[in-house]
Amino acid sequence: PEWQRNFPSVVSGGPLYLQFGNLSVTSLSSQEMESKNLPIYHQKSKLVQAVRENSFLIVSGETGSGKTTQLPQYLYEAGFCKDGNIGITQPRRVAAITVAQRVAQEMQCSLGKEVGYQVRFDDFTSPSTVVKYMTDGCLLREVLADPGLSAYGVIILDEVHERSLNTDILLGLLKKVFSNPSTATKGRSFPLKVVVMSATLETDKLSVFFNDCPVFTIPGRVFPVTCKFGTAIGPKDLESTGYVKEVVKVALNVHTTEMAGDILVFLTGQVEIERACDLLFEKAECIDYRYDVYDQTVEGLLILPLYGSMPTDQQKQIFQPPPPGIRKCVVATNIAATSLTINGIKYIVDSGFVKQLNHNSRVGLDVLEVVPISKSEARQRAGRAGRTSAGKCFRIYTAEFWEKCMPEYTVPEIQRTSLTAVILTLKCLGIHDVIRFPYLACPEERFILEALKQLYQFDAIDRRGRVTKLGELMVEFPLHPGLTRALLKAASLGCQDLLLPVAAMLSVENIYIRPGEPEKQKEADTRHKALAAKTGSMNDFALLLTVFQSCKSSDRPSAWCKENWIHWRALKSAFSVETQLREILLRLQQKRDFPVETFDGNKSELFRQCLCTGYFTNVARRSVGKVFCTMDGHGSMVHIHPSSSLFDQEAELNWVIFHDVMVTSRVYIRTVCPIRYEWVKDLLPKLHEVDVYELSSVARQEVTDDEMKKWETKEAAKRQQDVLNEDA
Ligand code: ADP
Ligand code: MG
């Protein structure tokens, strides 16, 4: 058949896996048809009218109704770009990219022209871009550079129900600046329009937040989805990873016993997804389509992974309809729950878990954890099967798991992660009272105080809570504040070339290939060990530098990566990230008061000493055997992760710093570097210097300072009036 030409390596009836040939792209006319079938299409003129009449508008509608892809196009057609660009934010980077691609296609322009996107370290826009998709983090950076957002006529905050940290902060900022008549047009010649888009949750709350602004609801039809609980995952299985095998089993069962229709499997992350795809592929190969499948029109299985750091050309494949007779099975992270809609899904397999960044109070750090999803999240996942017809959802967990382990709602990110970076942003925007900022959901005060404390420790704010010169430099880098601090230290000592590659390598996805097969794993280990030996000292940060430099200086960098079991794609991104960080740094160094310091220690220790400036909050000291104890007041017991080049060298170590932790039954530190106590001796007291009470009063004192300023301006105005009167 025709489609097989696109899948040359496939045997009819067999499963297809990771076939990324040139699948025929849906023709434009059918795309046009598709967009006219979306629920939002029937509301087009009313919706445009509503945006025209209101400076704040909430648009709500079921996922897949066309909000993200269509509304910006409607506004573009209606001439809203005359006053400035249309900016649309997404909490997820993949969503920003794929949606921009889709919209460019629908508008028949090439991506980066009228329609473009910008995500961290990847800007695909040009001077002619008027419809710009971006991550919420990018818009937050733009606010820093231009608080009046003068380039924009309309800002659309999308996926607000996701409650990502940056979107929540943007909501507060837009409310604070643009709903106040005296500040709304500051730095702009016309008022900004703000559209807030959300799935059907919490729209009343949002409306109240924006001074009772109108809510436009897109009516949409949803079809019933029958949900079945499983037997495999119960309350006792919270720590196990058995869900990967189980979803594979259930998905195969659906494939062989259910009528035609595509499957969407929800899993936790890249590693789990790739594992599940491998297993599915392996098992599906044994299916005899003459006897084993219930629906005889089903002749094969197309297995497609979908996760955040996937290359974009592969992501495009997800949306293509499968060839006739072939069932598509997409194995995805939560991204497919609301950010991206895949047509044709009839069956859901729900693992019940999600990977989430949570502040872990046991270690006092943010940790990426696998946790049960909330019930509302589970309903949302199930709903993906009922968009165009009735569907089925297979949950692998028991009803008891649902009752006992799954919370009612997902806690907004602002209430569960470190606020250090956003608090610095707010401070740099002149918002001193970070406690009484208009949060849609207030974070716990101790999280705010914790952030202030960290900023103080990194010298980004002073004892009175004011941003320092260093803080103003730090906010320019889209990196973790500690990493930025180390980088700036290196720059002030003139050795940024050591830290820039490390910062870049820590900002991209995992660079080391770890194959599943034990044989290959051994080979990869040997290669990685050889690289570590080349580094000289056992030190994971320095190893990153070695990998970066060796690859970059190689004649055939991609071949070098293959040979050394390194992800070439990750390194390519690291090269680009390094260039961008270098540009930011160069720009800052041209400023007159960029700090310059001299170093009078041992040159070979320069690199590690710079790291200490940013990582002294992550110091651990060996206590007994292989156990280390952190020094930040939490005094947690931690172990070196097996992936570290220092694993099994513990006996020779005393003090170490680390980049991050992984929590299972134990707490593991990863990316580790041995240090000397003298290097952190003067820094460590800083960890205990300010207590939370002092910070709390500082945070509040700034309120009076703020009021002071108001009073001062009033005074000044009065004095000016007095002078005028005198003149008269
Ligand atoms: P909403 O924002 O309301 O959830 P979207 O605008 O994201 O809805 O989706 C509308 C339609 O566009 C869906 O049918 C979806 O499948 C389709 N779509 C979105 N992105 C793509 C893409 N990259 N390729 C093909 N179809 C897409
Ligand atoms: Mg959307």
Close Cβ partners of 257 (under 8 Å, ≥ 6 residues apart): 293, 294
Query: Is the beta carbon of 386 within 6 A of some atom in ligand 1?
Result: no
Task: Let me know: does 504 contact 581? Beta carbons within 8 Å.
Answer: yes
ipTM above 0.90, yes or no: yes
Task: Report which ligand 1 atom has the smallest distance to the Cα of 318.
Answer: 24
Question: Ligand 1: which atom is nearest the Cα of residue 62?
Answer: 3
Question: Is residue 67 classed as helix, strand or coil in its secondary structure?
Answer: helix
pLDDT of residue 357: 87
Cα of 38 vs centre of ligand 2, distance in Å, is: 12
Decide: 75 and 86 in contact? Cβ < 8 Å: yes
Give 10's pLDDT tier (boundaries 50, 70, 90). very low
For residue 65 and ligand 1, the question of a CB distance below 6 A is answered with: yes
Torsion angle, alpha carbons of 209, 215, 220, 226, to 10: 20
> What per-residue confidence (pLDDT) applies to 706?
57
Count other C-beta atoms under 10 Å from residue 103's C-beta. Answer: 24
Of the ligands numbered here, which is closest to the C-alpha atom of 33?
A: 1
24-33 pLDDT, tens digit each: 444 556 777 7
378-381 CB contacts, 8 Å cutoff, 24+ apart: 378/350, 378/352, 378/402, 378/406, 380/63, 380/199, 380/337, 380/338, 381/266, 381/337, 381/348, 381/350
Residue recorded with tokens 């230290």: 489
262-304 pLDDT, tens digit each: 999 999 988 899 899 999 998 988 898 888 899 999 989 999 9
Whether the pLDDT of residue 335 is over 80: the answer is: yes
- Whole-number pLDDT of residue 29: 61
Q: For 561-589, write each residue's pLDDT tens digit.
A: 999 999 998 999 999 999 999 999 999 99
What pTM does this model have?
A: 0.86
Which residue from 432, 59, 6, 382 is spatially nearest to 220, judged by alpha carbons? 59
174: which 2 tokens?
């837009």
Assess whether pLDDT exceeds 80 at residue 716: no
Q: Which residues of 609-636 are buried (b: 16+ CB within 10 A; e: fewer)?
A: bbbbbbbbbbbbebeeeeebebbbeeeb
Q: Which atom of ligand 1 is nearest to the CA of 158?
A: 2
φ/ψ of residue 608, rounded to 5 = -70, -30
Q: Phi and psi for 217 in degrees, rounded to 5?
A: -105, 130
pLDDT: which is higher, 60 or 689: 60
Q: What is the mean pLDDT of the chain?
A: 87
Question: String of b and e for 563-584 (b: at least 16 CB within 10 Å)?
Answer: ebbbbbbbbebbbebbebbbeb
- Which of 250-259, 362-371, 468-477 has the lowest average pLDDT? 362-371
What is the pLDDT confidence band of residue 7, given thresholds at 50, 70 and 90? Answer: very low
Determine the average pLDDT of the residues in 428-433. Answer: 89
Residue 344, Cα to own-chain centre: how many angstroms?
A: 27
Counting ligands in written order, the one closest to the CA of 63 is 1
Paired strand residues for 672? 658
Q: What is the pLDDT of residue 696?
A: 64
Torsion sign over Cα 444, 447, 451, 452: positive
- The predicted pLDDT at position 3 comes to 40
- Over residues 527-538, mean pLDDT: 88
- Per-residue pLDDT tens over the stretch 165-186: 999 999 999 998 887 777 777 7
Count of C-beta atoms within a 10 Å radius of residue 397: 26
| Residue type at 101 in one-letter notation | Q
Q: How confident is the model at residue 2 (pLDDT cuts 50, 70, 90)?
A: very low
pLDDT digits (tens, 9 = 90+) for 658-668: 998 888 778 99
Consecutive H or E run containing 262 = strand 262-266
Closest C-alpha to 358, from 308, 434, 425, 411: 411
pLDDT of residue 712: 46
Q: What angle do CA 655, 659, 665 make, to 5 degrees?
A: 85
Q: Find all residues with CB under 8 Å of 281, minimum gap 6, and list them.
A: 15, 17, 303
pLDDT score at 710: 52
User: Rounded distance, CA 289 to CA 297, Å?
Assistant: 10
Sheet holding 56-60, edge to edge: 122-124, 115-119, 131-135, 85-90, 152-157, 193-198, 56-60, 215-217
Give the burial class of 29: count Cβ atoms within 10 A of its Cβ; 0-12 exposed, 13-18 middle, 19 or more buried: exposed
43 lines ligand 1 (CB under 6 A): no
> Which are the contacts of 566, defined by CB distance < 8 A and separation ≥ 6?
511, 512, 513, 547, 551, 560
pLDDT classification of 220: cutoffs 50, 70, 90:
confident
Flag whether pLDDT at 478 surpasses 70: yes
69 lines ligand 1 (CB under 6 A): yes
Specify which residues 304 forms β-bridges with. Answer: 330
Closest CA to ligand 1's atom 22: 102
Checking if the pLDDT of 233 tops 80, the result is yes
- The pLDDT of residue 8 is 33
| 3-state DSSP assignment of residue 124 | strand
Q: C-alpha 327: how far from its chain's center?
A: 30
Best probe residue, ligand 1, of 105, 341, 342 (max atoms within 8 Å of C-beta): 341
Pocket mutation for ligand 1, best pick of 38, 63, 68, 69 (most atoms within 8 Å of C-beta): 69
Q: Which residue has the higher pLDDT, 649 or 70?
A: 70
Taking residues 88-101, what's their average pLDDT? Answer: 94
What is d(CA 109, CA 101) in angstroms, rounded to the nearest whole number? 10
In the 8-state DSSP scheme, what is residue 6? G
99 lines ligand 1 (CB under 6 A): yes
**CA–CA distance, 125 with 252 (Å, rounded to integer):** 42
Report which bound ligand comes closest to the CA of 218: 1
Q: How confident is the model at residue 516 (pLDDT cuts 50, 70, 90)?
A: confident
* Better pLDDT: 443 or 239: 443
